[in-house]
Homo-oligomer: A and B are copies of this chain.
Amino acid sequence: MVGETVENKQIIFKGYIQGTPKETDMELRVGKKMKMEAPKGSGSFLVKNLYLSCDPYMRGRMRDFHGSYIPPFLPGSVIEGFGVSKVINSDNPNLKPGDIVSGFTGWEEYTLIHKPEQLRKVEPDNMPLSYFIGLLGMPGFTAYVGFYEVCAPKKNEYVFVSAASGAVGQLVGQLAKLHGCYVVGSAGSSQKVDLLKHKLGFDEAFNYKEEPDLDAALKRYFPQGIDIYFENVGGSMLEAVLVNMRIHGRIAVCGMVSQQGMSDEKGIKNLFNLISKRVRMQGFLQHDYLHLFPSFLEKVGGLYKEGKITYLEDINEGLESGPSAFAGLFSGKNIGKQVICVAHE
């Protein structure tokens, strides 16, 4: 196959959006013919994309908003995101054909990687390859640094996780349980609530859509208040949590990023509780903690192999399923980490 010329199927970002992403904001295109070769002297390498990741932060890249830590997508260009890929041809001395890499790639069948530093080689070690964009990738690492580094948890503390069955939340809850905390999660369907309680080991879980009064719901699950809130959603849930925080509580702010640049953003009330309860509210991004990545892989990979944690994935087959899978994130269609399988190997 190396040296051949192929048609490369791609998912194209059509143009800047407002509001929630829709399937029609992206389209499948059969790209230009592409030569299956990394040009000599370029240091680049050619990969076949196997699994692509649908992550909420990508919504921020669909707006014409340049104030963020990552620039917007370019209209008419291939969507970019995390993926797990196999090296087909390499002009890079550190990679050879057959190597598995994870990092930034394109939503397409094949990608010529010009910035090798955007991906790292992974050792599958009998774990599912898709885990390297989930449990053992950015979402898992976000959970790991957010919980241990930002939340500074102590045994027996009361922990609340929103979007708890999602790519990040499900690991936060399990790490918190292993740490000796009491953990409650919220999610948007009874099926997810059931998974949280019976498969992921949360102490309690509730469907926020069935709670007309979130404050009352939190008081029911946390009569003593909340020490740690792993914030994935913003809005009225955050407002209700603020009222229920305990003294010296901590809020790790991980979600809300999808709201940036939205003109109809709703303000957050109840922030005065930060003072009366002396709460620390800390925004974070996993890429500030990359020095901890090796210890994360060792710890979380180890816990998985020991059967102490589990990880839910929602895998859609085929590159063409990408747009609907991505749009589905924002209505909570996915159960667990949303993955697109482009090719099995």
Binding site for B on A (CB under 8 A): 67-69, 234, 239, 243, 253-254, 256-257, 259-260, 265-285, 288
Bound complex: CA A239 to CA B268 (Å) = 11
A271–B283 Cα distance when bound, in Å, is 9
B234 touches A276 (CB 8 A): no
A284 to B239, CA, bound (A): 19
Q: What would be 27 A-B contacts, judged by CB atoms less than 8 Å apart?
A: A69-B277, A234-B272, A239-B267, A253-B274, A256-B275, A257-B272, A257-B276, A259-B272, A260-B275, A265-B270, A266-B269, A267-B267, A267-B268, A267-B269, A268-B268, A268-B269, A273-B283, A274-B281, A275-B283, A276-B285, A277-B283, A278-B282, A278-B285, A279-B282, A280-B282, A280-B283, A281-B282
Other A-B pairs beyond A253-B275, A278-B283, A281-B282, 7, CB < 8 Å: A69-B277, A266-B269, A267-B267, A268-B271, A278-B284, A278-B285, A278-B288
Which of A69, A256, A275 has the most chain B CB atoms inside 10 A of its CB?
A275
Copies in the complex: 2
What 10 A-B pairs come out closest when comparing CB atoms?
Answer: A267-B267, A274-B283, A275-B283, A260-B272, A281-B281, A267-B269, A256-B272, A280-B282, A257-B275, A68-B276
Residue of A265, A269, A272 contacting most chain B CB atoms (<10 Å): A272
The CB with the most chain B CB atoms within 10 A, among A270, A271, A279, is that of A271
